[in-house]
Amino acid sequence: MTTDQFSEEKLKSLLKTEQLGKKICFFPSLESTNLFAKQLAEKGEPHGTLVIAETQTKGQGRLGRSWHSPKGGLWFSLILRPSFRPFLPQHLTFTAGLAAAQTCSRIIPNVSLRWPNDIYVESKKIGGILTEGRTKGNDFEYCIIGIGLNVNLTESEFPSILKSEASSLLILKKEKVEIPLFLANLLLLWENILKIYSQKGFAPVLNSWKKYAHFLGTFVKVDTPTKTIEGEAIDVTLSGALKVKDLDGMIHEISSGDVRRLTSN
């Protein structure tokens, strides 16, 4: 087995989690791991069920965007049915981002997180997170967290439109990463972060997340569903909202939007 091939047996032998990944649904190719995970969740598949594909033909990003998902990346989704209450789906996005950043940081330096769901190394994006869920009354029946990470992608595998803004662990580290081991480490870190969230609330998770939030304190442009705001990114609140101080000194709390840095790392 080469490092850019996925082995379900290898992953099972490496897993040290109690719940995450205990049921694995692996496919050489899927349209979207999130879409398949939602179908499984609707049928009652349990908390921690992992859906992973070597390639996605219709990978999904936020706001309906497509996600380039060739072989050599890590494309997976988890079904989460947290037993503790209360929890917020946006908080689960932060737990996933923190786990991904911590795992990547074991391999390369200068890993950062950009609100609300992107993983960067310096100015290059290496991954993203898509959170979806279903409500039942005032509660969430389940959440699907999809993570896409450019692990063993070469420069030639990126479309020309992405080459200036995206990278991979292989390009940055200059050697291939063993994907099953990487995923086993990520799932264990993620499970431990979820335990902290369940026992101590979101504050300690957010504080750890902010250690990777190198965009805080810089000037950003935020495209929200209704307007564009430029200013200094000053904080992320306990609800998961981004606080931006605009050029007139007004502070905005933004719950949904895309962030682009206007100052370099």
Confidence of residue 158 (pLDDT cuts 50, 70, 90): confident
Look at 30-34, 117-121, 227-231, 258-262 and tell me which has the smallest mean pLDDT. Answer: 258-262
Confidence of residue 63 (pLDDT cuts 50, 70, 90): very low
pLDDT tens for residues 120-146?
998 899 999 999 988 776 678 899 999
**For residue 203, pLDDT beyond 60:** yes
pLDDT tens for residues 82-106?
888 778 889 999 999 999 999 999 9
Mean pLDDT of 71-75: 94
User: 171 vs 67, which has greater pLDDT?
Assistant: 171
The percent of residues above 70 in pLDDT, for the chain, comes to: 93
Determine the Cα–Cα distance for residues 78 and 22; give it in Å rounded to an integer.
11
**pTM exceeds 0.85, yes or no:** yes
At residue 206, the 3 state secondary structure works out as helix
pLDDT value, residue 66: 55
**For residue 20, pLDDT beyond 50:** yes
Look at 12-26, 34-48, 54-68, 157-171 and tell me which has the smallest mean pLDDT. Answer: 54-68
User: 219 vs 64, which has greater pLDDT?
Assistant: 219
pLDDT value, residue 262: 86
CA dihedral 107, 112, 118, 120 (to 10 degrees): -60
Determine the Cα–Cα distance for residues 166 and 22; give it in Å rounded to an integer.
32
**Residue 199 — φ and ψ, nearest 5°?**
-95, -35
**For residue 65, pLDDT beyond 70:** no
Confidence of residue 249 (pLDDT cuts 50, 70, 90): very high
Query: All domains of the chain, ordered by start, with CATH?
Result: 8-210 (3.30.930.10), 219-261 (2.30.30.100)
Q: Are 76 and 183 in contact (CB under 8 A)?
A: yes
Determine the Cα–Cα distance for residues 33 and 27; give it in Å rounded to an integer.
9
* Helix, strand, coil % in the chain, rounded to nearest 5: 30, 30, 40
